[in-house]
Structure 1
Amino acid sequence: MTDVGGPDQEQRLADFVTKSIEDTSSTVSVKEAMKKIGLKDKHDIIPGLEVRLLSHQCIGVAWMLQKERCPDKGGIMADDMGLGKTVQMIATMALNPPQTEDECQTTLIVVPAALLQQWKEEIETKTNGLFTVHIHHSKDKLKAFSQVKSKDVVITSYQTLCQDFAIPRSVEPEDELEWLQKNGGILSKIKFYRVVADEAQFIRNRATRASVSLSYIRSTYRWMLTGTPVTNTLADIYGLLRFGRFRPWNDWAAFNEHVAKVQFEDAPLAGSRAQAILKPILLRRTKNSTLDGEPLLQLPVKDIQIVNLQFTQAEQDIYDYFEGKTKLRVNKFINENTLVKNHAFVLVLILRLRQLCCHPYLTLSLTNGFEDPGMLVAGEAERERSRAKKIMGAEWVNELRERFMKREINQNIMAFADEVEEGDSTCPNCQDLFTKETGRILVCGHTICFDCTLELMNSPIVHDGVFGTGNEKENLAVEKEYELGVARGWRPCPTCKQMMDMKSNDKVFKTAAFEPTDEEIQEFKHNRRVAARSKAFKNKVKMPRSPTPASPASSIPDELPSDSDDDLPDIAHMHDSPRKLKKGKAKAKSKVISSEDEDVEMIDMTPSSRAKKRKIALDSSDEEIDSISHGKKPRSGVKNPSKNSDGPSEASFATWSRGDDDMEPSTKMLQMFELLKQWEAKGDKTIIYSQWTSMLDLIERMFSRHGIRNLRFDGKMDRTQRDATLATFKQPGGPKVLLISTKCGSVGLNLVVANRIINMDLSWNYAAESQAYDRCHRIGQEKPVFVKRLVVQNTIEERMLRLQDVKTGLADAALGEGSGGKLHKLSVKDIRYLFNIGPRDSNTLSED
């Protein structure tokens, strides 16, 4: 079957449906709408309200009243952010109050935790005491049915709601509703008059607890408020339809059969069906919509600018060092066709590079467990070896790697069973074979299986009573060491009986980290051949040909290793991929080359010698190795070695690893201070966004150093702290700077008191970023809004912007803010471009 919509079919279809409902307005005029809600003219106020409705809000409220009076008994209010969804909902509540005969007269409003207080304030200030409002959350939860009935409005969070609707897995699906009414929380036992789900995009995924819990709520009327009703796929719609109980589409089998599944076979048909489903139950206007030829809103201008920055040389060196490491790793995944399989790790690599753009400390602070900071973006085996090297020393690690390599050579090349170290492949405790994944190495160097380490740790010590085989003094010393270990809770190695701490995983290592890879084995064999040929050539030159007939031993082929390792490359050099950081101005000891297919790291393979060292590429073919090692010009496509391949000095890493009061300010921080200084005289309030609270921590420390007063709003704060922060920020004369985490700031807040924004880091999902900006640019804003997006040039940030310009499905590819399941939507070419591998021209990127 031909590909109907292309690889980003789901996103394009979602965009198509979204555009089709962009202006799904009621067909009634302003005059007709005002008549339906009982207003004589534009200056009238709805009884019980303290504010006048705008013209488009009158139409919205009239539509909502109509939906409550028809069989749908609710709908989706999907007006763009800033058009007043909240006030329209409050007006609807005032115009259609419960009757005395209604069993429960309470309206339940479910919101993100950050909006609990804001909703309470909105209702109380806009209705002048018309409703009694209670926040059902934390210590203020209502306990009895009578308490809930006594309130006109109960506001709760999605998290609290989920707690009341938690159903044990043992309950059969058909029995869940009955179980909830008997055993659930107070909210699950009541049939409400009206339920409102604010920021309803929280329930679009039908499998989440919030979506399932809301679907069980019983009520007469059901409303969803969201500025983004369709985001990624048509399946997003189902969570809303299920909560609204809009038959027949609240049944997943029916919806999946007629819409969700169809989008893969006939996209236009699926889109048309989705439009038909949404049209009668959804109202959406945008800020660009017009009414009687005029824009719905007359807001001050919003100016969004990208501020391009250049790293300092020190920051650039650190960034280049990590980017070089990530390029090698990603290129390996691409060449091995394992990119999607390793998508989670690729997301981590992207995250680390993005954090480096804000401040190197955000990444370097995570490298404390590694000898080489580059291990942060290395594979699991490399990180485990780096950890072992820091704890046990390089010599211990190198000896193990040499032992494991010799065992592999014996097994795979010589195949002499009597020379294989069986103890390395069977557990000395249980005698079972263990795999690379289950094997563990103790500090004494002996191997054991993971299950036996657990058994030894949690079982009484078994000892044969023999302490050594030396003289009495030596045996007493061994016995004393044993008793001391017992007192500390240590256990003996099953092989050598050395006492050690097995409860601490710090000194138990995975054998898989020390196993040589297939490439390393092939390389080892190649270098043995090279060494053998070199030795044979030297002997041929120095010694005359012997007339003596060749002995049987001379017929052994070159591939077989000799008994002596004197002529072999130092295996420690071969495996010690993480290079030591250069100190001061020491000369580089290794180089990096890159080819069209893969960036190849050059590692010193020869023993230390006064002779000129030859460089051999670990991941190159034998042909490439020969050409490089003999001084030949590399193949076309191989670039010149990088002059900074060794990375920054230890002093530079130490400087940028500081996150205390003496930290070095990053390029973005310096630009932030420059902007605040420019704006200070104007008296405007500023919001600073970052996705990472650790970045906000650093900014706060810098503010403290420079005497800048600020407030903070993030997910770590409880509701009381958040409410107090926002109240303080809104007061005149208080701190003029508010630090907000992007995710918290993009949901439902009203921050029109500020009109200046600095965004420290880009979001993959620009919609969330835009929502954060619109917290200032909405009804009530009286000043122009200025937004500065800080972007470091020649980094992953700049490439993110270019990808967003050409890649239609990228905004919701979830590369940083969610699951990585949609990484496959980026082509290999896009991934190469993102990691600065290959062509730099954004015109070459795929647009499908």
Structure 2
Amino acid sequence: MSLLTSFKALKEILKPCSNLTPTPSSSSSSLIKSSFSQEPEPAALKISRKPPKSSLSKQLQRLGEPFLPSSQQNESLNAGTRQPQNSQGHRNEAQVVKFEEGREKEEKEREFEDFGRTKLGQFDHTGPFEPLVLSLLGEVPVIRVPASINCRLLEHQREGVRFLYKLYRDSHGGVLGDDMGLGKTIQAIAFLAAVFEKDEESVESTTVKGNHGGKKGPVLIICPTSVIHNWEIEFSRWASFSVSIYHGTNRDLILEKLKAGGVEILITSFDTYRIHGSILSEVDWEVVIVDEAHRLKNEKSKLYLACSEIKTRKRIGLTGTVMQNKIMELFNLLDWVAPGSLGSREHFREFYDEPLKHGQRSTAPESFVRKADKRKEHLVAVLRKYMLRRTKEETIGHLMMGKEDNVVFCSMSELQKRVYRSMLQLPDIQCLVNKDLPCSCGSPLKQVECCKRIVPDGIIWPYLHRDSPEGCDSCPYCLVLPCLVKLQQISNHLELIKPNPRDELDKQKKDAEFASAVFGPDVDLVGGNAQSENFMGLSDVKHCGKMQALEKLMFSWASRGDKILLFSYSVRMLDILEKFLIRKGYSFSRLDGSTPSNLRQSLVDDFNSSPSKQVFLISTRAGGLGLNLVSANRVVIFDPNWNPAQDLQAQDRSFRYGQKRHVVVFRLLAAGSFEELVYSRQVYKQQLSNIAVSGKIENRYFEGVQVPFLPWKGWCVGLIFPWGFSICNEKFRVSPFVLLGFSGLQRISG
């Protein structure tokens, strides 16, 4: 009774002022009365008013309907369909048109929801409003996706849900390997809604009986920290599950709730599970889903070992990049979701890995090529049982305007070339360049095996071996990675090789010494060997070839109203690019690892909705996952990565479902530099992935075979020239001219 009294009091507060009388000149909106009003009204003036679009008003309206007498309900319903009339009782044509247009607009904006029901209105209907039956004919109970979810799924998503249920029914795991942006999260939720028999007409969280009468256990979802809340939001939009997040300070409370049976879906992060996996592995999970499952590519990692302890055979991996660097990563992932499905590790390496790699060499004998083709077909046939892989082109290509991928070779500035050449003359680099020459001491041994195995007179080597003056077992190959990092930094911007004030003092001292050595007489042109914060100096493009090319590209894009995503791995490079954008007057947003998680989505929404935002500066590490930036139609990858999947993930922030424009991607490479080798390596890895995962036929461009261990050994770093296009490697020979046929290469001079 008290609830009814309180409700009536609240209605009186919301009642419009009754002493306002309409004037003849008033618009039709001034004649509208609240449907809550109890006063009798003239029939000619009684037009139902929709309350403000707020959750409170909607709930009040729904709660109020049972308390209205049936006559009032019918009268209110009739008034809602009545057209406005003038004071003489005749319809005003202008008022009628305005009224109909307003009502049509409000109907389009109205969310498809009832009080206490999951909100699904933002998703357009893509199919009939009927459930999707997953179970076989005659199978009891009938497992089906609720109609409210099925009507919003695309056809490839329905196929994905059927695949996931087949894995579940057969009691083994598998991989949903769709391209990024095809809705793997939604497919997983639709599958769970069917398995847990979530009816769209029921909002209660109930314990559901399994196929054999037993209770279903909870579902564990392991994902990157950045997408935890995205999973939570998607569950709230699509189905009525009891969802809890095992992350942060309230883990103990969530664990108690889980043990009490109050949790249906438990979401946790990779790091949390790696640390606390022993606790969660004691739970009998119904299904375990790992988002971005390519994180399980290393069988020796702590995360992989922790996930291997999970007590369920129903393991599902979601990833758009099933294989990134080598074919054995494919085995590790499949062996986790379905242990033993591909045989033993050694069997897979001998039967699939080695034949496929050697058969792809440009000079491979015909017998090797035929053997590789047979093994490729056999592998694809085996994978079909455990993996479903679709691309955007074959699923939603007809709904999108397409994507163009360009590699832009940017000529380095004259200062960059001089610094690049200076580094190649350092003792550390020369040790690697001349490693196979006869030793100068007269020994028949090579320099790498004799006097030049260590480099005490170098700059990088002494710092690496400050605690071991005699060197290490890997000398001199321990120098390769640090040297390549420095070469890539010079290729991007000279400011990057200067010491970082946040590093330890010893490292700052070493970096300052290195910068002085390679800058030489040009040290004043770059503002000294210490990091500079001079705005005019950092925002100037004169000494950076890539920024010169970027300046020309952005000028043409801005004149056409294009929106741009600008990615870089280096936060320092983002700082420099930010100053460049300020100097040029571009309106931009920025997201990197320091951006709080709770602010990231608001930055994305603001960029997508604001026509004034032209550029989004994004750290590739922080923004490679979970961002939907379909308002942008130009993507720039400022610095390439060894792993091609990283660049592809960055591209797909824009090229995904909902993109209405043609997307053009520009990957910037410093012409004639070490970055050309990075790009060639990307092509090589992408070809291996296409062969092993999709069974495609790829042109055999490369002679090299990727070595599982010591991949740098045998590489001739000295032949990476700071000019021209030639790249030579003892095991890896390629010229970018060969790649012109399929890479869309462009050359932009500085």
TM over 0.5: yes
**1:143 maps to which residue?**
253
- For the 8 Å contact 1:765–1:811, the answer to whether it is kept is no
Q: Which residue matches 2:399?
A: 298
- Equivalence for 1:197: 290
In structure 2, do the counterparts of structure 1 residues 669 and 733 end up closer, same or farther at CA, with 3 Å as the change threshold? Answer: same
CA distance in 2: counterparts of 1:146 and 1:59, whole angstroms: 37
Q: Distance in 1 between matches of 2:507 and 2:249?
A: 48
Q: Distance in 2 between matches of 1:270 and 1:836?
A: 41
Q: 2:180 aligns with which of 66, 81, 96?
A: 81
Match of 1:352 in 2: 486
Amino acid in the other structure paired with 2:246: H
Aligned AA (1:77): L
Q: Does 1:106 align with 2:208?
A: no
Partner of 1:593: none
Which moved further from structure 2: 149-158 or 700-709?
700-709
Amino acid at match of 1:331: V
Supply the AA of the counterpart residue of 1:94: A
CA deviations over 1:113-141 (Å, ceiling 9, x no partner): 1222222233333x1x5234333322453
Equivalent residues of 1:199, 1:226 under 8 A apart: yes
Distance 2:296 2:686 in 1: 24
The 5 Å alignment of 1:729-808 reads 729-733=607-611, 735-801=613-679
- DSSP 3-state at the match of 1:280: helix
Alignment of 1:679-690 (within 5 A): 679-690=557-568
2:196 is paired with a residue of what secondary structure? coil
Deviations 1:639-667 (A, max 9, x none): xxxxxx99433322435754313333343
Cα distance change of structure 1 residues 658 and 704 upon mapping to structure 2, 3 Å threshold: farther
Distance in 2 between residues matched to 1:136 and 1:275, nearest whole Å: 37
Q: Would you say the 8 A contact 1:827–1:846 is kept in 2?
A: no
Task: Measure the CA separation in 2 of the matches of 1:136 and 1:372.
Answer: 38
Q: Quote the residue 1:157 is aligned against.
A: 269
Amino acid at match of 1:660: E
**CA spacing shift, 1:121–1:302, aligned 2, 3 Å:** same
Superimposed CA distance per residue, residues 200-244 of structure 1 (whole angstroms, 9 cap, x where no aligned partner): 111121211211222222347321111222344453244334433
Letter in 1 for 2:672: N
**What residue identity is the alignment partner of 1:141?**
R
Shift of 1:823: 7.3
Aligned-CA RMSD value:
4.3
Mapped to 1, the partners of 2:321 and 2:588 lie a distance apart of: 32
SS across alignment from 2:521: coil
For residues 334 and 355 of structure 1, do their structure 2 counterparts lie closer, same or farther at Cα, with a shift above 3 Å needed? Answer: farther
Match 2:321 to one of 228, 231, 236 = 228
**Once the 2 structures are TM-superposed, how far is the Cα of residue 150 of structure 1 from its aligned partner?**
2.6
In 2: Cα distance, 1:750 partner to 1:309 partner: 29
- Preserved CA contact (<8 Å) 2:407 2:667: yes
**Does structure 1 retain, via aligned residues, the 8 Å contact 2:429–2:483?**
no
Shift of 1:777: 0.8
Give deviations 1:122-165, integer Å, cap 9, x for gaps: 3333x1x5234333322453524442343432222100111212
Letter in 2 for 1:320: R
Q: CA deviation at 1:193?
A: 2.6
Specify the code of the residue in structure 2 equivalent to 1:337. Answer: V
1:54 counterpart = 2:54: no
Aligned to 2:167: 67
**1: CA distance between counterparts of 2:320 and 2:424?**
37
Which digits, 9 at most, give the CA deviation of each residue in 1:732-791, with x for residues without a partner? Answer: 357432222223333343322322212111222223212211221111111111222222
Distance 1:726 1:342 in 2: 46
| CA distance in structure 1 between the aligned counterparts of 2:184 and 2:508, rounded to whole angstroms | 49
**Does structure 1 conserve the Cα–Cα contact (< 8 Å) formed by 2:523 and 2:529?**
no
Among residues 515, 523, 526, which one is paired with 1:650 in the alignment? 523
Structure-2 residue corresponding to 1:313: 414
Match of 1:660 in 2: 533
- The 1-side partners of 2:264 and 2:571 are apart by 37
* Structure 1: runs of 5 or more not aligned: 1-29, 166-179, 377-382, 388-577, 582-644, 813-819
Residue-pair matches, total: 515
In 2 relative to 1, CA 360–231 (structure 1 residues): closer, same or farther, beyond 3 Å? closer
Offset at residue 730 of structure 1 (A): 3.4
Partner of 1:697: 575
1:620-631 equivalences in 2 (<5 Å)? none
Q: CA separation in 1, counterparts of 2:190 and 2:221?
A: 14
Q: Is the 8 A contact 1:752 1:780 kept in 2?
A: yes
Structure 1 residue 64 displacement after superposition: 1.7
Per-residue displacement from partner, 1:276-295 (whole Å, max 9, x unpaired)?
A: 543322111223447xxxx7
Higher relative contact order (CA 8 A, sep 6+): 1
Amino acid at match of 1:115: V
1:551-576 CA-partner distances (Å, limit 9, x unpaired): xxxxxxxxxxxxxxxxxxxxxxxxxx
- Structure (1 or 2) with the larger CA radius of gyration: 1
What secondary structure, in the 3-state scheme, does the structure 1 residue paired with 2:550 have?
helix
**Larger CA deviation: 189-198 vs 103-112:** 103-112
User: Any idea what SS the aligned residue of 1:79 has?
Assistant: coil
Alignment check: 8 A CA contact 1:830 1:845 kept: no
Q: Is the 8 A contact 2:296 2:332 kept in 1?
A: yes
Residue identity opposite 1:260 in structure 2: R
Cα offset for 1:684? 3.6
2:423 corresponds, among 316, 322, 339, to 322
Amino acid at match of 1:688: L
1:696 CA displacement: 1.2
After the TM superposition, which residues 430-509 of structure 1 pair with which residues of structure 2 at under 5 Å, given as runs?
Answer: none
- What CA distance in whole angstroms lies between the structure 2 residues aligned with 1:139 and 1:696? 33
Separation of aligned partners in 2, 1:96 and 1:315: 60
Identity %: 25
Q: Which amino acid aligns with 2:192?
A: M
**CA shift in 2, pair 1:298/1:827, >3 Å:** farther
Q: Say if 1:310 and 1:841 are closer, same or farther in 2 by CA, change over 3 A.
A: closer
Secondary structure of the residue aligned to 1:108 is strand
Q: Kindly tell me: are residues 328 and 214 of structure 1, through their superposed partners in 2, closer, same or farther at Cα, counting changes over 3 Å?
A: same
Deviation at 1:811, TM superposition (A): 9.8
2:433 maps to 1:337: no
* Alpha-carbon distance between aligned partners in 2 of 1:133 and 1:681, rounded to the nearest angstrom: 47
Letter in 2 for 1:362: L
- Given candidates 378, 387, 390, the residue that maps to 1:282 is 387
Conserved? CA contact 1:686–1:738, under 8 Å: yes
Q: Deviations over 1:659-698 (max 9, x none)?
A: 3133333433344344333333444432111111221122
What secondary structure sits across from 2:651 in the alignment?
A: helix
TM-score (norm 2): 0.60
Structure 2 counterpart of 1:308, one-letter code: F
Match of 1:93 in 2: 192
Residues 281-332 of structure 1: per-residue CA shift (max 9 Å, x gap): 2111223447xxxx76532121222333333333332233223326424214
How far apart in 2 are the matches of 1:742 and 1:341?
32
**Alpha-carbon distance between aligned partners in 1 of 2:179 and 2:433, rounded to the nearest angstrom:** 42
The 1:845–1:833 alpha-carbon spacing in structure 2 relative to 1, beyond 3 Å, is: farther
| Residues 287 and 297 in structure 1, CA contact (< 8 A), matched pair in contact too | no
131-140 or 352-361, larger mean C-alpha shift: 131-140
Give 1:627's aligned residue: none
1:232 and 1:760, CA in 2 relative to 1: closer, same or farther beyond 3 A?
closer
Q: Which runs of 5+ in 2 are unaligned?
A: 1-126, 137-143, 198-206, 357-370, 438-446, 454-473, 691-705, 735-750
Secondary structure, aligned partner of 1:689: strand
- Structure 1 residues 232 and 782, CA, compared in 2 at 3 Å: closer, same or farther? same
- Cα–Cα, structure 1 residues 775 and 124, in superposed 2: closer, same or farther, change >3 Å? same
- Taking the aligned partners of 1:744 and 1:371, their CA distance within structure 2 comes to 28
